[in-house]
Structure 1
Amino acid sequence: MAKVVKTNAMRILDKQKVPYEILTYDSKDGKIDGIAVAGKIGREPAQVYKTLVAVGASKNLYVFVIPVEAELDLKKAAREAGEKNVEMMPVKDIQKFTGYIRGGCSPIGMKKDYPTFLDRSAEGLETVIVSAGKIGFQVELAPEQLIQATEGKYADLTK
């Protein structure tokens, strides 16, 4: 059996003794958007969440975790973050601030602990699936445990 590559996000979950399942997919075809990933791992898109990084008017960074099929409502996101407004972080800046690349951005284990918000739609789910911090790897865990691991909170974030 191949040795499992542990990402920073997985090591943090291990350290916090958070149970999770590793899901892997083949990214060679370049299809790494959330809906494609849901299909590749055989899960409903409603269970797969994407990690978005935004910058507030104060220049503070925020992490928003929403269903892959949904669109972030910037007004709601700003309100939840206590900002006048928020804008999506330019893709070129993501790695510098999070340590992750686009398509492999996990809400767990960024360079700093940014305020993290999980869309309220996750509250009713048994588990959610988020990036494990590397393209081709996802982690599945209970939403409460994602909240715990990121010190996040539930919020109304989508259009």
Structure 2
Amino acid sequence: MARRAEASSAGTPATLALARAGIAFTALAYEHDPRAQAFGLEAAEKLGLDPARVFKTLLAQVDGELAVGIVPVARQLDLKALAAALGGKRAEMADPRVAERRTGYVVGGISPIGQKTPSPTVLDESAILCETIYVSGGRRGLDLELAPDDLLAVTAGRYAAIARER
């Protein structure tokens, strides 16, 4: 069952970064099932949200440098499009251990906000159509609702067409 949490009770680097930046957000917590394979789809289902508004945070190596791609949970990250959006030639998914070490979050709870070592960030342009979107709050079982432009402001990110159908 989903419940709304106050920003102060969520207490992750992501919520703290948003509070410091003065960005309005809502934290939504749910009971994470440790057997879940698709963390983003689990969040959408448990919170009763449209999967087109729930975004997953993926880390890739673009020409050897770590980058963040944020795409709707029902779609896949287009690695070629991510590379092109960042002016690179080649991209591949980052090793999960590297992603955890660089972000300070665990896989399934990696937030694009408040990462230990920030990386260039690209949000799929489909988010432009949404007043608010949902991203991981920095732990499994916590999502944050905020305006896509605010997400880009706090991550110094940009929009690009980086999602493709499964």
After TM superposition, the score normalised by the length of structure 1 is 0.94
Between the two proteins, the alignment pairs up a number of residues equal to: 158
- 2:28 pairs with 1:28: no
Alignment equivalent of 2:116, drawn from 111, 116, 127:
111
| Partner Cα distance (2:137, 2:95) in 1 | 21
Q: Which runs of 5+ in 2 are unaligned?
A: none
| Partner Cα distance (1:5, 1:144) in 2 | 22
Aligned residue for 1:56?
Answer: 62
Q: What SS class does the counterpart of residue 22 from structure 1 fall into?
A: strand
Q: What SS class does the counterpart of residue 70 from structure 2 fall into?
A: strand
Moved more, 134-143 or 29-38: 29-38
Letter in 2 for 1:20: F
After TM superposition, the score normalised by the length of structure 2 is 0.90
Q: What SS class does the counterpart of residue 4 from structure 1 fall into?
A: helix
Q: Which runs of 5+ in 1 are unaligned?
A: none
Letter in 1 for 2:96: V
Aligned CA-pair RMSD: 1.6
Determine what percentage of the aligned residue pairs are the same residue: 38
Give the drift of 1:29: 4.5
Contact 2:43 2:143 in 1 (8 A): no
Alignment equivalent of 1:139, drawn from 116, 128, 144:
144
Query: Deviations for 1:53-81, whole angstroms, at most 9, x for unmatched residues?
Result: 00112x21110000000111111111011
Aligned residue for 1:84?
Answer: 89
Contact 2:12 2:138 in 1 (8 A): yes
